[in-house]
Structure 1
Amino acid sequence: MSGPRLLASAATPGLRRAVFGGDDDLDEGGLRAALALTTDLGGRADVWFSAPSQAALQTARALGHDDPVVEHALADPDYGQWTGLGLGDIAGTDPEGLQSWLTDPEATPHGGESLAAVRQRAGAWLDKQAEQRIVAVAHPVVVRAALAHALGLSDDGVWQLDVSPLSLIRLTHRADRWHVSFPPAG
Protein backbone atom coordinates (compact mmCIF):
# COMPACT_ATOMS: atom_id res chain seq x y z
CA MET A 1 0.00 0.00 0.00
CA SER A 2 1.44 3.36 -0.95
CA GLY A 3 0.85 6.72 0.60
CA PRO A 4 2.42 8.87 3.26
CA ARG A 5 3.81 7.27 6.38
CA LEU A 6 4.40 9.24 9.56
CA LEU A 7 7.08 7.95 11.89
CA ALA A 8 7.48 9.33 15.39
CA SER A 9 11.12 9.93 16.20
CA ALA A 10 12.84 7.66 18.69
CA ALA A 11 13.13 8.52 22.38
CA THR A 12 15.37 11.22 23.79
CA PRO A 13 16.21 12.02 27.41
CA GLY A 14 13.88 15.04 27.27
CA LEU A 15 11.00 13.04 25.84
CA ARG A 16 11.35 10.44 28.56
CA ARG A 17 11.30 13.19 31.23
CA ALA A 18 8.37 15.09 29.62
CA VAL A 19 10.47 18.17 28.89
CA PHE A 20 9.01 20.85 26.64
CA GLY A 21 11.07 21.38 23.51
CA GLY A 22 14.80 21.35 23.30
CA ASP A 23 16.84 19.54 20.70
CA ASP A 24 18.17 16.42 22.39
CA ASP A 25 20.04 13.66 20.66
CA LEU A 26 18.49 10.21 20.83
CA ASP A 27 19.29 8.42 24.05
CA GLU A 28 20.93 4.99 23.97
CA GLY A 29 17.61 3.15 24.22
CA GLY A 30 16.03 5.27 21.50
CA LEU A 31 18.95 4.72 19.16
CA ARG A 32 18.93 0.95 19.79
CA ALA A 33 15.19 0.79 19.16
CA ALA A 34 15.52 2.74 15.89
CA LEU A 35 18.39 0.56 14.71
CA ALA A 36 16.28 -2.53 15.43
CA LEU A 37 13.47 -1.41 13.10
CA THR A 38 13.25 -2.74 9.60
CA THR A 39 14.10 -0.08 7.03
CA ASP A 40 11.22 -1.24 4.82
CA LEU A 41 8.50 0.17 7.11
CA GLY A 42 5.76 -1.28 4.99
CA GLY A 43 6.69 -0.30 1.48
CA ARG A 44 8.89 1.76 -0.75
CA ALA A 45 9.28 5.46 -0.13
CA ASP A 46 10.33 7.85 -2.87
CA VAL A 47 11.42 10.51 -0.37
CA TRP A 48 12.25 10.56 3.32
CA PHE A 49 11.44 13.80 5.14
CA SER A 50 12.63 14.79 8.58
CA ALA A 51 11.78 17.48 11.05
CA PRO A 52 14.84 19.67 11.66
CA SER A 53 15.36 18.25 15.17
CA GLN A 54 18.33 16.05 16.05
CA ALA A 55 15.98 13.27 17.20
CA ALA A 56 14.15 13.14 13.86
CA LEU A 57 17.34 13.35 11.79
CA GLN A 58 19.07 10.68 13.90
CA THR A 59 16.02 8.41 13.65
CA ALA A 60 16.05 8.65 9.84
CA ARG A 61 19.80 8.03 9.76
CA ALA A 62 19.49 5.01 12.06
CA LEU A 63 17.11 3.58 9.47
CA GLY A 64 19.68 4.05 6.70
CA HIS A 65 18.48 7.37 5.30
CA ASP A 66 21.50 9.61 5.75
CA ASP A 67 20.20 12.62 3.84
CA PRO A 68 16.48 13.09 4.46
CA VAL A 69 14.81 16.26 3.21
CA VAL A 70 14.56 18.60 6.19
CA GLU A 71 10.99 19.89 6.38
CA HIS A 72 10.32 22.84 8.70
CA ALA A 73 6.54 22.23 8.63
CA LEU A 74 7.34 19.12 10.69
CA ALA A 75 9.33 21.05 13.31
CA ASP A 76 8.70 20.53 16.99
CA PRO A 77 6.34 23.09 18.53
CA ASP A 78 7.79 26.35 19.77
CA TYR A 79 7.24 26.19 23.53
CA GLY A 80 8.50 29.71 24.16
CA GLN A 81 9.38 30.29 27.82
CA TRP A 82 8.68 26.63 28.66
CA THR A 83 11.45 25.29 26.40
CA GLY A 84 13.71 23.00 28.40
CA LEU A 85 11.35 22.80 31.40
CA GLY A 86 9.64 19.64 32.53
CA LEU A 87 5.92 19.13 32.93
CA GLY A 88 6.36 19.05 36.72
CA ASP A 89 8.28 22.35 36.63
CA ILE A 90 5.44 24.04 34.76
CA ALA A 91 2.80 22.49 37.03
CA GLY A 92 4.63 24.01 39.99
CA THR A 93 5.30 27.47 38.57
CA ASP A 94 2.44 28.08 36.13
CA PRO A 95 -0.43 25.68 36.94
CA GLU A 96 -3.07 27.94 35.34
CA GLY A 97 -1.01 28.24 32.17
CA LEU A 98 -0.50 24.49 32.03
CA GLN A 99 -4.22 23.87 32.56
CA SER A 100 -4.99 26.34 29.79
CA TRP A 101 -2.53 24.68 27.42
CA LEU A 102 -3.92 21.21 28.20
CA THR A 103 -7.55 22.23 27.61
CA ASP A 104 -7.44 24.97 24.96
CA PRO A 105 -5.61 24.14 21.73
CA GLU A 106 -5.42 27.86 20.90
CA ALA A 107 -3.66 28.69 24.18
CA THR A 108 -0.09 29.97 24.23
CA PRO A 109 0.66 30.62 27.91
CA HIS A 110 4.34 29.96 27.16
CA GLY A 111 4.49 32.68 24.53
CA GLY A 112 5.23 30.15 21.77
CA GLU A 113 3.08 28.22 19.34
CA SER A 114 -0.40 26.84 20.01
CA LEU A 115 -1.24 23.20 19.35
CA ALA A 116 -3.87 24.43 16.88
CA ALA A 117 -1.10 26.17 14.92
CA VAL A 118 1.03 23.00 14.96
CA ARG A 119 -1.97 21.00 13.70
CA GLN A 120 -2.59 23.54 10.95
CA ARG A 121 1.00 23.64 9.64
CA ALA A 122 1.53 19.86 9.87
CA GLY A 123 -1.87 19.20 8.30
CA ALA A 124 -1.32 21.63 5.43
CA TRP A 125 2.01 19.95 4.69
CA LEU A 126 0.46 16.49 4.90
CA ASP A 127 -2.29 17.44 2.43
CA LYS A 128 0.42 18.28 -0.14
CA GLN A 129 1.76 14.72 0.24
CA ALA A 130 -1.60 13.03 -0.44
CA GLU A 131 -0.47 11.03 -3.46
CA GLN A 132 3.17 10.63 -2.49
CA ARG A 133 5.06 7.59 -1.22
CA ILE A 134 6.97 9.28 1.55
CA VAL A 135 8.11 8.70 5.10
CA ALA A 136 8.10 11.72 7.41
CA VAL A 137 9.94 11.54 10.74
CA ALA A 138 8.86 14.01 13.42
CA HIS A 139 8.34 14.42 17.16
CA PRO A 140 5.37 12.37 18.45
CA VAL A 141 3.29 15.52 19.14
CA VAL A 142 3.72 16.65 15.52
CA VAL A 143 2.69 13.19 14.30
CA ARG A 144 -0.36 13.46 16.59
CA ALA A 145 -1.18 16.87 15.12
CA ALA A 146 -0.91 15.63 11.52
CA LEU A 147 -2.99 12.57 12.33
CA ALA A 148 -5.66 14.69 14.06
CA HIS A 149 -5.83 16.73 10.85
CA ALA A 150 -6.05 13.65 8.64
CA LEU A 151 -8.87 12.20 10.73
CA GLY A 152 -10.78 15.48 10.71
CA LEU A 153 -10.66 15.78 14.49
CA SER A 154 -11.08 19.16 16.11
CA ASP A 155 -7.95 20.95 17.26
CA ASP A 156 -8.25 19.43 20.73
CA GLY A 157 -8.37 16.00 19.08
CA VAL A 158 -4.58 16.01 19.38
CA TRP A 159 -5.17 14.96 22.99
CA GLN A 160 -7.25 11.95 21.91
CA LEU A 161 -4.28 10.31 20.23
CA ASP A 162 -1.33 8.59 21.84
CA VAL A 163 1.74 8.32 19.65
CA SER A 164 4.74 6.64 21.19
CA PRO A 165 8.29 7.03 19.94
CA LEU A 166 8.80 5.01 16.72
CA SER A 167 5.06 4.67 16.10
CA LEU A 168 4.37 4.28 12.41
CA ILE A 169 1.15 5.70 10.95
CA ARG A 170 0.27 4.64 7.42
CA LEU A 171 -2.10 6.86 5.50
CA THR A 172 -3.76 6.75 2.13
CA HIS A 173 -5.79 9.47 0.45
CA ARG A 174 -8.72 8.60 -1.74
CA ALA A 175 -12.19 9.96 -2.39
CA ASP A 176 -10.99 13.34 -1.09
CA ARG A 177 -10.29 12.09 2.41
CA TRP A 178 -7.58 10.49 4.46
CA HIS A 179 -7.66 6.87 5.56
CA VAL A 180 -5.55 5.32 8.28
CA SER A 181 -4.17 1.89 7.44
CA PHE A 182 -3.81 -0.78 10.13
CA PRO A 183 -1.80 -3.55 8.47
CA PRO A 184 -1.71 -7.03 9.96
CA ALA A 185 0.91 -7.74 12.58
CA GLY A 186 4.06 -9.61 11.60
Structure 2
Amino acid sequence: MDEAKAQAARQALFCEQVLAKSASNVLLETLREAKSVAAWEHFPAGDVFDPETGAQWYYHSHPPQDGQAEHGHFHCFVQPDGPKGPIHHLVAIGVDAYGQLIRLFTVNQWVVGDEWLDAEGTIALLPRFDPHFARPSYLVNRWLAAVIALYADDIAGLIRERDRVLAAHTSPDGKPAREDRAQEMTSELAVDLRRTAEGLGV
Protein backbone atom coordinates (compact mmCIF):
# COMPACT_ATOMS: atom_id res chain seq x y z
CA MET A 1 0.00 0.00 0.00
CA ASP A 2 2.83 2.41 0.87
CA GLU A 3 4.47 1.74 -2.50
CA ALA A 4 1.20 2.54 -4.29
CA LYS A 5 0.98 5.77 -2.31
CA ALA A 6 4.62 6.57 -3.05
CA GLN A 7 3.98 6.05 -6.75
CA ALA A 8 0.96 8.39 -6.56
CA ALA A 9 3.08 10.99 -4.78
CA ARG A 10 5.78 10.68 -7.48
CA GLN A 11 3.20 11.16 -10.20
CA ALA A 12 1.68 14.23 -8.55
CA LEU A 13 5.11 15.80 -8.06
CA PHE A 14 6.14 14.88 -11.61
CA CYS A 15 3.09 16.67 -13.03
CA GLU A 16 3.96 19.76 -10.98
CA GLN A 17 7.61 19.64 -12.07
CA VAL A 18 6.74 19.39 -15.77
CA LEU A 19 4.32 22.29 -15.48
CA ALA A 20 6.89 24.35 -13.56
CA LYS A 21 9.35 23.99 -16.45
CA SER A 22 6.85 25.96 -18.52
CA ALA A 23 6.34 28.52 -15.73
CA SER A 24 2.92 27.01 -15.07
CA ASN A 25 1.08 25.02 -12.39
CA VAL A 26 -2.17 23.06 -12.09
CA LEU A 27 -4.20 26.22 -11.48
CA LEU A 28 -2.73 28.25 -14.35
CA GLU A 29 -3.07 25.25 -16.64
CA THR A 30 -6.72 24.79 -15.69
CA LEU A 31 -7.47 28.47 -16.32
CA ARG A 32 -5.21 28.77 -19.39
CA GLU A 33 -8.03 29.40 -21.87
CA ALA A 34 -10.16 31.52 -19.52
CA LYS A 35 -10.61 35.11 -20.67
CA SER A 36 -11.61 36.09 -17.13
CA VAL A 37 -12.11 34.29 -13.84
CA ALA A 38 -15.39 34.92 -12.03
CA ALA A 39 -16.31 33.38 -8.68
CA TRP A 40 -18.49 30.27 -8.98
CA GLU A 41 -17.82 29.90 -12.72
CA HIS A 42 -16.89 26.37 -13.80
CA PHE A 43 -13.56 25.77 -15.51
CA PRO A 44 -13.30 24.37 -18.04
CA ALA A 45 -16.71 25.24 -19.43
CA GLY A 46 -18.82 22.10 -19.55
CA ASP A 47 -16.56 20.32 -17.04
CA VAL A 48 -14.15 17.47 -17.77
CA PHE A 49 -15.65 14.02 -18.26
CA ASP A 50 -13.89 10.82 -19.25
CA PRO A 51 -16.53 8.43 -20.64
CA GLU A 52 -14.29 5.40 -20.16
CA THR A 53 -13.74 5.82 -16.42
CA GLY A 54 -16.72 8.00 -15.50
CA ALA A 55 -14.39 10.51 -13.85
CA GLN A 56 -15.61 14.11 -13.92
CA TRP A 57 -14.38 17.36 -12.41
CA TYR A 58 -14.55 21.12 -12.56
CA TYR A 59 -12.69 23.95 -10.88
CA HIS A 60 -14.20 27.06 -9.38
CA SER A 61 -13.33 29.77 -6.93
CA HIS A 62 -15.27 31.58 -4.24
CA PRO A 63 -15.30 35.36 -3.66
CA PRO A 64 -11.95 36.27 -2.01
CA GLN A 65 -11.88 36.77 1.74
CA ASP A 66 -9.20 38.36 3.92
CA GLY A 67 -6.76 35.81 5.26
CA GLN A 68 -8.02 33.04 3.00
CA ALA A 69 -5.20 31.04 1.44
CA GLU A 70 -7.40 29.05 -0.92
CA HIS A 71 -7.89 30.37 -4.42
CA GLY A 72 -10.47 27.71 -5.30
CA HIS A 73 -11.02 24.00 -5.56
CA PHE A 74 -11.55 21.07 -7.88
CA HIS A 75 -14.83 19.23 -7.34
CA CYS A 76 -14.30 15.59 -8.26
CA PHE A 77 -17.08 13.18 -9.21
CA VAL A 78 -17.65 9.76 -10.73
CA GLN A 79 -20.49 8.73 -13.03
CA PRO A 80 -20.15 4.95 -12.80
CA ASP A 81 -22.89 4.22 -15.36
CA GLY A 82 -21.80 6.74 -17.98
CA PRO A 83 -22.99 10.24 -18.92
CA LYS A 84 -26.70 9.45 -18.54
CA GLY A 85 -26.33 7.74 -15.17
CA PRO A 86 -26.16 9.15 -11.63
CA ILE A 87 -23.23 11.34 -10.64
CA HIS A 88 -21.60 11.10 -7.22
CA HIS A 89 -19.35 13.69 -5.56
CA LEU A 90 -16.17 12.25 -4.08
CA VAL A 91 -14.14 15.14 -2.66
CA ALA A 92 -13.08 18.71 -3.27
CA ILE A 93 -9.37 19.51 -3.65
CA GLY A 94 -8.41 23.03 -2.55
CA VAL A 95 -5.39 24.86 -3.95
CA ASP A 96 -3.80 28.23 -3.30
CA ALA A 97 -3.09 30.95 -5.87
CA TYR A 98 0.10 29.08 -6.90
CA GLY A 99 -1.72 25.81 -7.55
CA GLN A 100 -0.34 24.18 -4.41
CA LEU A 101 -2.50 21.59 -2.70
CA ILE A 102 -3.72 22.84 0.68
CA ARG A 103 -6.80 20.87 1.71
CA LEU A 104 -9.33 18.14 0.97
CA PHE A 105 -12.96 18.46 1.98
CA THR A 106 -16.47 17.12 1.51
CA VAL A 107 -19.69 19.06 1.10
CA ASN A 108 -23.39 18.65 1.70
CA GLN A 109 -25.52 17.27 -1.11
CA TRP A 110 -27.23 20.59 -1.94
CA VAL A 111 -23.85 22.18 -2.70
CA VAL A 112 -23.17 20.07 -5.79
CA GLY A 113 -26.61 18.57 -6.45
CA ASP A 114 -25.30 15.07 -6.99
CA GLU A 115 -27.14 11.77 -6.57
CA TRP A 116 -26.72 10.80 -2.93
CA LEU A 117 -24.66 7.71 -2.18
CA ASP A 118 -23.74 6.61 1.32
CA ALA A 119 -20.15 6.60 2.55
CA GLU A 120 -19.15 3.04 1.70
CA GLY A 121 -20.69 3.24 -1.76
CA THR A 122 -18.90 6.53 -2.40
CA ILE A 123 -15.58 5.23 -1.11
CA ALA A 124 -15.83 2.25 -3.46
CA LEU A 125 -15.83 4.71 -6.37
CA LEU A 126 -12.53 6.40 -5.47
CA PRO A 127 -10.40 4.10 -7.70
CA ARG A 128 -12.67 4.99 -10.63
CA PHE A 129 -11.44 8.58 -10.60
CA ASP A 130 -8.76 8.11 -13.23
CA PRO A 131 -9.29 10.55 -16.10
CA HIS A 132 -7.13 9.95 -19.18
CA PHE A 133 -8.18 12.99 -21.11
CA ALA A 134 -6.30 15.77 -22.89
CA ARG A 135 -8.73 18.53 -21.94
CA PRO A 136 -7.93 21.02 -20.53
CA SER A 137 -4.58 19.46 -19.64
CA TYR A 138 -3.45 15.86 -19.42
CA LEU A 139 -1.10 16.84 -16.61
CA VAL A 140 -3.90 18.37 -14.54
CA ASN A 141 -6.00 15.26 -15.04
CA ARG A 142 -3.15 13.01 -13.94
CA TRP A 143 -2.36 15.29 -10.97
CA LEU A 144 -5.94 15.08 -9.71
CA ALA A 145 -5.99 11.30 -10.09
CA ALA A 146 -2.67 11.04 -8.25
CA VAL A 147 -3.84 13.24 -5.38
CA ILE A 148 -6.97 11.12 -4.90
CA ALA A 149 -4.92 7.90 -5.05
CA LEU A 150 -2.35 9.26 -2.60
CA TYR A 151 -4.90 10.43 -0.06
CA ALA A 152 -7.51 7.71 -0.66
CA ASP A 153 -7.49 6.58 2.98
CA ASP A 154 -7.84 10.14 4.23
CA ILE A 155 -10.61 10.86 1.73
CA ALA A 156 -12.43 7.72 2.87
CA GLY A 157 -12.26 9.08 6.41
CA LEU A 158 -13.62 12.43 5.27
CA ILE A 159 -16.52 10.76 3.45
CA ARG A 160 -17.41 8.72 6.55
CA GLU A 161 -17.24 11.89 8.63
CA ARG A 162 -19.56 13.57 6.09
CA ASP A 163 -22.20 10.94 6.79
CA ARG A 164 -21.73 11.19 10.56
CA VAL A 165 -22.07 14.97 10.47
CA LEU A 166 -25.24 14.85 8.39
CA ALA A 167 -26.75 12.06 10.48
CA ALA A 168 -26.26 14.19 13.60
CA HIS A 169 -27.43 17.46 12.03
CA THR A 170 -30.79 18.92 12.97
CA SER A 171 -32.13 21.84 10.97
CA PRO A 172 -33.97 24.51 13.01
CA ASP A 173 -36.73 24.69 10.39
CA GLY A 174 -37.07 20.94 10.01
CA LYS A 175 -35.40 20.68 6.60
CA PRO A 176 -33.66 17.41 5.76
CA ALA A 177 -29.97 17.68 6.67
CA ARG A 178 -28.84 17.23 3.06
CA GLU A 179 -30.95 20.23 1.97
CA ASP A 180 -30.05 22.60 4.82
CA ARG A 181 -28.12 25.56 3.40
CA ALA A 182 -26.72 26.28 6.85
CA GLN A 183 -24.75 23.03 6.59
CA GLU A 184 -22.30 23.37 3.71
CA MET A 185 -18.90 21.79 4.37
CA THR A 186 -19.11 18.47 6.17
CA SER A 187 -15.46 17.52 6.74
CA GLU A 188 -12.00 18.78 5.83
CA LEU A 189 -8.32 17.99 6.15
CA ALA A 190 -5.31 20.27 5.64
CA VAL A 191 -2.68 18.54 3.50
CA ASP A 192 0.82 19.26 2.21
CA LEU A 193 1.86 17.23 -0.82
CA ARG A 194 5.60 17.60 -0.31
CA ARG A 195 5.45 16.72 3.36
CA THR A 196 3.33 13.68 2.56
CA ALA A 197 5.79 12.61 -0.14
CA GLU A 198 8.73 13.01 2.23
CA GLY A 199 6.94 10.85 4.78
CA LEU A 200 6.74 8.12 2.14
CA GLY A 201 10.43 8.47 1.29
CA VAL A 202 9.79 10.11 -2.07
Tell which has more relative contact order, 1 or 2 (C-alpha 8 A, sep 6+): 1
Would you call these one fold, judging by a TM-score over 0.5? no
- Output the TM-score relative to the length of structure 2: 0.29
